[in-house]
Chain A
Amino acid sequence: KQEVTQIPAALSVPEGENLVLNCSFTDSAIYNLQWFRQDPGKGLTSLLLIQSSQREQTSGRLNASLDKSSGRSTLYIAASQPGDSATYLCAGYSGAGSYQLTFGKGTKLSVIP
């Protein structure tokens, strides 16, 4: 069974700092991995989707990488802003027969002005 872990559970950084959020998974047969953002009391917003055949995806100040061999994904946020404060979730999709996303418990990010 796929397990997804996110460390740290919470992170506080000053505005303008570059930062990395970590996600590890146990099943290297992962089909794809998706990063989400969740604001308090809100739903999940998809940030980046990385297919198993890809190594990274970029959107604006965000860059996500996927290393299946080591069972790790990272989300890099450049020049952090207070508006980036949210909980970031990673979720792995294990492919046929499963159909479900396996979520980590998230990293709560606070960007201090």
Chain B
Amino acid sequence: NAGVTQTPKFQVLKTGQSMTLQCAQDMNHEYMSWYRQDPGMGLRLIHYSVGAGITDQGEVPNGYNVSRSTTEDFPLRLLSAAPSQTSVYFCASSYSKAGANSYTFGSGTRLTVV
């Protein structure tokens, strides 16, 4: 089924560990982004990409890295996990950055940092 696939669905990390959250889409979408969702805070943009080889920071980028080597994949790396990064992470994609098309979201990765 066409859509946005995120792995893993759940993850527990110890403080200081690193990991990569995977995101893949098969809709040939140019634009991909990562959001985190926290209680009482809503969804906030971490990083985004407007095409292969192009990434930029969103509202809350500290502690995260991204790369976009292919159109399909947009992994999110936690460099040294902290309890403040406990959250639900969503990857989203859209046909164009112009916002003329609706966004498609993945099912999320629930991350707990202890």
Contact = CB atoms under 8 A, between A and B. Distances in A.
Contacts, number: 59
Contacts of A96: 98
Nearest to A49: B102
B90 A43 contact: yes
Interface string B83-114: 00000001010000111111111111010000
B108 A100 contact: no
A12 to B, nearest CB: 20
A46 B44 CA distance: 17
Contacts of B100: 32, 51
Given A32-B99, A99-B97, A46 B40 contact: no
Given A93-B99, A100-B33, A43 B107 contact: yes
A45 B92 CA distance: 11
B43 interface: yes
Contact of B43 (A31, A45, A93, A103): A103
A16 to B, nearest CB: 29
A14 interface: no
Interface residues of A, number: 24
A94 to B, nearest CB: 8
Contacts of A24: none
A61 interface: no
A42 B108 contact: yes
B106 A43 contact: yes
Interface of B: 31, 33, 40-45, 48, 50, 56, 58-59, 90, 92, 97-108, 110
23 contacts: A31-B98, A32-B99, A32-B100, A34-B103, A42-B107, A44-B92, A44-B103, A45-B105, A46-B105, A49-B101, A49-B102, A89-B42, A91-B43, A99-B97, A99-B99, A100-B59, A101-B45, A101-B92, A103-B42, A103-B43, A104-B42, A105-B42, A106-B42
